[in-house]
Structure 1
Amino acid sequence: MIVRDFNEIVKTERNRVVTDANWSSVRMLLADDGMGFSFHITFLDAGSEHTFEYKHHFESVYCVQGKGSITDLATGETHQIHPGVMYALNEHDRHTLRAEEELVMACVFNPPVTGTEVHREDGSYAPAEDA
């Protein structure tokens, strides 16, 4: 059994807290935990906009707090994000996420991330075998 306390991770396990442009992510589970997925709590700054395309990962996201929107860049369709909304990038969808208020999101990645990934120029992470 794996038990981790978010409050302890943010104080002591800096290798599990990833910060990038206008967002940070607390990695509760990573690839080396052997679960087959990773689990993160991610914070996106109010007023920020992010374009991602996870070409090598599937991601599911559940909004815990805040307000924003997500636009599917292939279709142009925009969906409102608020507490209780989940979206899944089941087709490696290129998307833009906008945070009107600070967004707090619970995220699952498959394959799991290692915690050392950085977004590449195209908004993706490298394939798991290259991480």
Structure 2
Amino acid sequence: MASILQGEIAAEIVAALEAERVPYALTLVRQETGGDPWDPIIVDVPYDCRGWRDDYSLDERDGTLIQQDDVRVFIIASSLAIEPTTADTISLAGVSHSIVSVKRDPAGALWEVQARR
């Protein structure tokens, strides 16, 4: 059963964020295997998306689960063709970050990503 927050409400959230010019271009990178099955190669495949970076509060930074340099990244779900995973990386202003955790908001409008340099 889908959440009652999904659908129209998600679209309204995205429209409001875009109207305020909050999101900007981000790139999620996934390593995929290609080439010959007997001699595979690993290729970085970029997925363009839109979102923004936010900082964790001092209270949230425990030094273990959320480290000092970790950042919170919000990705507009409808702007990304794939579901992000902890095997992916995300590029913020040209700086690559590993993805530590991923969750989706109740409306299904955003992916919330914990990223680490």
**Which TM-score applies when normalising by structure 1?**
0.32
Q: Radius of gyration: which is bigger?
A: 2
**Which TM-score applies when normalising by structure 2?**
0.35
Instruction: Identify, as 1 or 2, the structure richer in strand.
Output: 2
